[in-house]
Structure 1
Amino acid sequence: MELDPRGQRFAASITSVVIILVLVTRSPWLALAQTAVFALTATNPRRGPYALLFRQFVLPHVGPPAEREPAAPVRFAQTVGLAFLGAATIAFFAGAPVVGLIFAGLGLVAAFLNAAFGLCLGCEAYLALRRLTAARNSAA
């Protein structure tokens, strides 16, 4: 499966806004909602609500993509987002708002870098892990 990178940046933009709202409100419920979005998109990035919004409202105006990207790095990145926002959610519900703010803030950094600059930290981590695994297997 391949994805339109513009859709990923669109999703990262919405994610950034949601996480900013989490940071401002310290709402465990909003953090939980974003965690659920990450859980859904970690299994299939095309099925997430932000991807549906992109396909329904943005894609008809921008046309087909000039390039596509593989889905595996994006799924990995969404799994990393799930871990960070999941930890933030647990911390907020447990009454540890500072810990929640830290984890949500880290999630915001990653989402914002993707939204603003197209730099997907989770995707880059995925590719680095693949290179390390390949190097380890060829050395053995």
Structure 2
Amino acid sequence: MHISRSFTVDAPADQVVTALLSSELAAKRMALLGVTEFDHNVEGNTAVTHATIPADKLPSQASAFVKNGVDATVKALAAGHTVNYTLDLKGAPVDLTWTVALTDGTPTSADLEADFKVKIPIMGAKIEQRAAAWVDRLLNSEVRSIEEVLAG
């Protein structure tokens, strides 16, 4: 399933890219998931977050398929005003990649393009549609978190 959304952040694009790679934003993302133990490393224009997420912290639909939880790694690679993400979920039949492309201005405009695939025969497309219903809610939380990081 392909997902496209746009949002704005009241900061210059360079600062938004820095926030997208930051440990502070990674911590806010993990807090939303109820995950307290994770690793986040930034080296240059690359950030990697790794966490083990117990099944009881996953949505009920997901926990039915991943009874032992998931081992999640998110890699973010910034190139100019674009940040490309990949999510590797060991133990879950999911592929997710997304890109945030920023256009400098006041405020900064951001275009999010994501590809989400659930690899479960017959039920995958239905699960993708249910998950897509959460995109706007998650994106609103993400924008608030980015703005909080930028505010210091």
Tell whether the structures are fold-level matches, with TM greater than 0.5: no
Give the TM-score normalised by the residue count of structure 1. Answer: 0.32
Higher helix proportion:
1
Give the TM-score normalised by the residue count of structure 2. Answer: 0.30
Structure scoring higher RCO (CA < 8 A, sep ≥ 6) equals 1
Higher strand proportion:
2
